[in-house]
Amino acid sequence: MCMKELTINARTEELDAVLQFVDVQLEAMDCPPKVQMQIDLAVEEIFVNIANYAYRPGTGTATIRVDAEGSSVSITFIDSGIPYDPLKKDDPDISLPAEQRQLGGLGILLVKKTMDDVRYDYVNACKVLTIVKVIETGKQKGLT
Amino acid sequence: MNITENRNDNTLTLLIEGRIDTATAPKLEQVMQTALDGVTELFLDANADLMEIFEVTGFTEILTFA
Q: What is the ipTM metric for this complex?
A: 0.76
Angle at A21 between CA A111 and CA A142, to 5 degrees: 30
Residue of B nearest to A105 (CA): B57
Q: Is the Cβ pair B62, A98 closer than 8 Å? A: yes
CA distance A54 to A59: 8
Under DSSP, is residue A104 helix (H, G, I), strand (E, B) or coil? Answer: coil
Q: Where in the sequence is the domain holding B10, given as residue range(s)?
A: 2-62
Q: How far apart, in Å, are the Cα atoms of A25 and each of A13, A19, A135, A144?
A: 21, 10, 12, 26
Percent of chain B with pLDDT over 90: 39
Q: Which residues pair with A76 in a beta bridge?
A: A65, A130
Q: Give the total number of structural domains in chain B.
A: 1
Q: Which residue is closest to B61 within chain A, CA to CA?
A: A95
For chain B, positions 28-47, list CB contacts with chain A under 8 A: none
pLDDT tens for chain B, 66 residues: list them.
Answer: 999 999 999 999 999 998 888 889 999 999 988 999 999 998 888 887 888 888 888 888 887 776
Position A142 confidence tier, pLDDT thresholds 50, 70, 90:
low
Q: Looking at the partner chain, which of A15, A113, A143 has a beta carbon nearest the beta carbon of B22?
A: A15
